[in-house]
């Protein structure tokens, strides 16, 4: 198309204001108003003495939360490999065992699992002492770590299974044609492609674990929420919970941006 034709071309008609667009702008305005109101409330009720008193404890609780989530996710990732293998196995017994594990831990609340381990294992103190495990299960942090690891292993196993199954069958056949046995094909050909697919679900699982970790405050673990509850019980100031919400939001947003950056880096060869 020539320059003269472009100059004579009539301008595109404006997009009509549909109900969906109007509703979207209204919701955006409500969120903006809520954010502005929250900011004004924090400024108006700011208590520097309270902040200076509890800020170190908040940072300590945040570090406990990061440790708990990072270790449990790492342990869960290791446990998810044999579970995913069992789910993919042609052996009916292994497949059924893997399915039963995933079904139980994905079908029951994380809070119930944590209570069962923290309170339930305490009922077997003599037996645990006999095998030398009581020193582990008597600590609330250890029980929370154990429960979180078992829970996230079930979710990560399903993520890994789905990612492996998303790789086209031709990749397996091509690896076999090159003389690679099944484990080599899985490690060198299938897993690199599957992990690209699984990155976003893994990031979502990590975010859910960060938000779900707040329940450990109920079993006397002084994570970020535990320190928040302690600060509120001593000050009765509602802004202590707002500080915690902002810290959780900052942590989740940092993780989300990190996952986005990693995804862009490992998929840049797919962008044309």
User: 98-139 pLDDT, tens per residue?
Assistant: 999 999 999 999 999 999 999 988 888 888 888 888 888 888
Asked if 220 and 140 count as a contact pair (C-beta separation under 8 A), the reply is yes
pLDDT for the residue numbered 55: 87
pLDDT for the residue numbered 32: 81
All structural domains of the chain with their residue ranges: 55-270
Asked if 188 and 175 count as a contact pair (C-beta separation under 8 A), the reply is yes
Asked if 218 and 267 count as a contact pair (C-beta separation under 8 A), the reply is no
pLDDT for the residue numbered 63: 94
What dotted CATH number matches 55-270?
1.10.3720.10
Asked if 68 and 145 count as a contact pair (C-beta separation under 8 A), the reply is yes
Confidence tier at 195 by pLDDT (50, 70, 90): confident
Q: Token match 């690199």: residue?
A: 192
HSE on the CB side for 80, CA within 13 Å?
A: 25
Residue 42 has pLDDT above 90, yes or no: no
Work out the average pLDDT over 213-238.
90
Confidence tier at 156 by pLDDT (50, 70, 90): very high
pLDDT for the residue numbered 80: 92
Asked if 110 and 147 count as a contact pair (C-beta separation under 8 A), the reply is yes
Question: 137-147, pLDDT tens digit by residue?
Answer: 888 999 999 99
């Amino acid at each position: 198309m020539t320059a003269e034709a472009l100059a004579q071309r009539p301008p595109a008609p404006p997009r009509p204001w549909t109900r969906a667009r109007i509703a979207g702008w209204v919701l955006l305005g409500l969120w903006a108003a809520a954010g502005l109101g929250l900011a004004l409330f924090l400024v108006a009720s700011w208590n520097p003495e309270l902040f200076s008193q509890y800020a170190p404890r908040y940072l300590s609780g945040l570090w406990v939360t990061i440790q708990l989530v990072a270790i449990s996710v790492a342990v869960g990732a290791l446990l998810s490999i044999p579970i995913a293998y069992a789910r993919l196995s042609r052996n009916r017994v292994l497949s059924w065992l893997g399915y039963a594990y995933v079904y139980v831990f994905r079908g029951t609340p994380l809070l119930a699992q944590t209570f069962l381990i923290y309170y339930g294992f305490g009922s077997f103190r003599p037996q645990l002492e006999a095998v030398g495990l009581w020193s582990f299960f008597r600590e609330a942090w250890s029980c929370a770590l154990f429960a979180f690891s078992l829970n996230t292993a079930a979710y990560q196993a399903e993520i890994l299974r789905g990612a492996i199954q998303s790789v086209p069958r031709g990749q397996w056949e091509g690896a076999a044609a090159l003389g690679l046995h099944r484990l080599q094909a899985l490690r060198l050909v299938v897993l690199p492609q599957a992990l690209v697919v699984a990155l976003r679900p893994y990031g979502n699982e990590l975010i859910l674990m960060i938000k779900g970790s707040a329940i450990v405050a109920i079993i006397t673990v002084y994570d970020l929420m535990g320190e928040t509850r302690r600060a509120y019980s001593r000050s009765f100031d509602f802004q202590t919970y707002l500080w915690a919400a902002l810290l959780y939001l900052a942590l989740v947003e940092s993780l989300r941006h990190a996952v986005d950056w990693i995804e862009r880096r490992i998929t840049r060869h797919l962008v044309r």
